[in-house]
Structure 1
Amino acid sequence: MNIVWKITAWLASRRRIADWLIERSQHTPYFDIVKSGETYMRRWWLFNPYDHETRKPRHRWCPISIRVHHIMKPDDDRHLHDHPWNARTIILRGSYLEEVAPDSGPHMNGRFRPGLGSLRVRQRGDTARIGYGQFHRITSVSRDGVYTLFISGAHRGTWGFLVGGQKVPWREYLGIKE
């Protein structure tokens, strides 16, 4: 299966195809993420399976969503974070440096210690699986940011931050009341 993703990433990142994916997605904007008054990430839908009102998938048989992300700045949070679903990222333009926790995943049981993870360069044509419970952080992005094709599956839980070897739910970490 990995070879299929590598071929898909190579094709999607060809200049004409990447330009088309980016341009097409910009017809269906999602909300931007703004931190400290600056845009951190712009996002657009390529395929949105969610009902606008309920925010639940319209069809059980199709739990995936596909977006284009323009990551303009590195993550400024002190701790690594995970996502609430399994996902796949394909780098369409630009590059980033990512810190990834070792052995992170639902089975981790607090074994991560900061500084012992790995750094990975992700550049045009690369693809990576991002599993639920896999903690990471983008530490730098190329000058013009990085465009990614982001494919996510069904929700598996909440996202959070890895603090002292334990997952802290995002609202608690950011001090947001429900």
Structure 2
Amino acid sequence: MIQKAASALITWARQRKPDFVVGGVEQPYLLRWFLIPRNPVFNVYLHCFLRDDDDRALHDHPWPWCSILLSGGYIEHTIAAGGIHRRRERSAPSIKLSGPRRAHRIELLKIRDFVASQPGNDTPISCWTLFITGPRLRTWGFHCPERGWVDWREFTDPNDKGMTGPGCGDQSAERQA
């Protein structure tokens, strides 16, 4: 039943334009559909990940959140207390609950992970999530290796909040969005 509902939701989304595109129209990173009118208390989004999160920094969120993986899979990178890196593979169906301040990064699975005859094929496999947020409790940002926490407005492009800008302050800001 859950898979049938997930398939119906994904089919619905594919028939209309996303409400927000992250990473630019030419090479989008994430497509977002608003499933209920946006409001300050509770939001529900459908996300289609097309590329990995920027690999220069983990990011956090401004609210408590729940992500339900509907289709596909990904590797989630987190940092535990003491700076210990954790890497966990998630596949549909999967549920993740988290609070603000918890930094993570999404890395999509690649074709090479599933097709033995294509060990060097780094083509990402898209995945779909239902993303539910609570009320905004703080601003959000990126956890840069050298600078520490960086507000999202400094990390992203000031002219297009869907694009990466200066990032962590390095010179490779155009690498990913």
Output the TM-score relative to the length of structure 1: 0.71
Partners of 1:102 and 1:133 in 2: how far apart? 12
Partner of 1:8: none
Alignment of 1:109-120 (within 5 A): 111-112=82-83, 116-120=84-88
- Provide closer, same or farther for how the CA distance between residues 120 and 165 of structure 1 changes in structure 2, counting only shifts above 3 A: farther
Amino acid at match of 1:172: E
Larger deviation: 94-103 or 142-151?
142-151
Amino acid at match of 1:43: R
Partners of 1:39 and 1:145 in 2: how far apart? 11
Partner of 1:168: 150
* Alignment partner of 1:84 out of 55, 59, 62: 62
Amino acid at match of 1:117: H
* Alignment partner of 2:80 out of 96, 102, 110: 102
Alignment of 1:1-178 (within 5 A): 12=2, 14=3, 16-25=4-13, 29-35=18-24, 37-50=26-39, 57=40, 63-103=41-81, 111-112=82-83, 116-142=84-110, 143-163=124-144, 164=146, 166-174=148-156, 176=158
Structure 2 unaligned spans of 5+? 111-123, 162-177
Amino acid at match of 2:132: I
CA contact (8 A) 1:73 1:141 kept: no
Name the structure with the higher strand share: 2
Moved over 4 A (4+): 25-28
CA contact (8 A) 2:108 2:125 kept: no
Equivalent pairs counted in the alignment come to: 145
CA contact (8 A) 2:58 2:142 kept: yes
Amino acid at match of 1:176: P
In the TM superposition, what is the alpha-carbon distance from 1:47 to its structure 2 partner? 1.6
In the TM superposition, what is the alpha-carbon distance from 1:75 to its structure 2 partner? 1.0
Instruction: Please give the root-mean-square deviation of Cα atoms over the aligned residues, in Å.
Output: 2.5
3-state DSSP of counterpart to 1:96: strand
Structure 1 unaligned spans of 5+? 1-10, 51-56, 58-62, 104-110
Output the TM-score relative to the length of structure 2: 0.71
What's the CA shift string for 1:76-134, capped at 9, x where partnerless?
2401110111110011000000101113xxxxxxx53xxx2210111101110131000
- Provide closer, same or farther for how the CA distance between residues 19 and 131 of structure 1 changes in structure 2, counting only shifts above 3 A: same
3-state DSSP of counterpart to 2:11: helix
Partners of 1:23 and 1:90 in 2: how far apart? 17
